[in-house]
Amino acid sequence: MIIANTVKDVRDVVKEWKRNGLTVGLVPTMGALHEGHASLVTAAAAGCDRVVASVFVNPTQFGEGEDLDSYPRDFERDCGILEERGCHMVFHPSVEEMYPEGYATYVNLESEMTKQLCGKSRPGHFRGVCSVVSKLFNIVDPDRAYFGEKDAQQLAVIKRMVKDMNFDIEIVGCPTVREDDGLAKSSRNSYLNERERAAATVLYRSMERAKAMTKEGVSDASQLLEAMRDVVSSEPLARIDYIEAVDGETLMPKEKLAAGDLVAMAVYIGSTRLIDNFTVGA
């Protein structure tokens, strides 16, 4: 597996691959890899001849007071996971390589999409996401890029950006990978102590309650959301950031839910903010 630290190194390798007619898949990550990331690499290896994964903790998507400095980093472990799952090259740039002195260009989706859900409490977050992902697209020139459905808003925003900016890239969403008790795999799970880890299952339990209601024919969003809030509020360590029902593509609020719509949540367990979601009818 190649470890590339510069834009030039990545481009030189990818150009050679493409000269040989090989397809390229990209898996963008911030490292601290878990089974969810690994599943993206597996999907990319199954769908493409060559796989590039980026490991870069992107500072432009962190807001003031967020966990940029404490975000978990273990590059050697990440490389082991990536190589085991069939990754051919890791792009591990420095901040200076991605944002050199004088850097001043950003990609901003000027849509209500980025003001919903996580965008409400994390202003500027999706500007950072769109900027770094568009840079990765330009650097790697992939045929397909793979993202987890756990970050449903991010996935929807990137699909919109790709459409608007005419990127010739297929965006592939991959299912959320969960622990045995339902907790979605996340790099931030490592912040949880034993008591908080047990409490964190309340997110999944609230979604299971809502899913059961939809199967019984309930489509009223307020009813579903109230039931989820009741479950989450029963856990003393949980504090709700949001629990909302939105259109699966536009992310705008919905009052009556139909197949393909999204129920998404962000909940603090102690000081750790966790996100999760489910798609109605999936």
pLDDT per residue rounded down to tens, the chain (282 residues): 999 999 999 999 999 999 999 999 999 999 999 999 999 999 999 999 999 999 999 999 999 889 999 999 999 999 999 999 999 999 999 999 999 999 999 999 999 999 999 999 899 999 999 999 999 999 999 999 999 999 999 999 999 999 999 999 999 999 999 999 999 999 999 999 999 999 999 999 999 999 999 999 999 999 999 999 999 999 999 999 999 999 999 999 999 999 999 999 999 999 999 999 999 998
Q: How far apart are CA 119 and CA 143, in angstroms?
A: 28
Q: Is 132 buried (19+), middle (13-18) or exposed (0-12) by CB count in 10 A?
A: buried
Q: How far is CA 78 from CA 1, 55, 129, 137, in A?
A: 12, 8, 21, 21
> What type of residue sits at position 223?
Q
| Threshold 0.85, pTM exceeds | yes
pLDDT tens digit string along 127-145?
999 999 999 999 999 999 9
**Catalytic residues, which ones?**
37
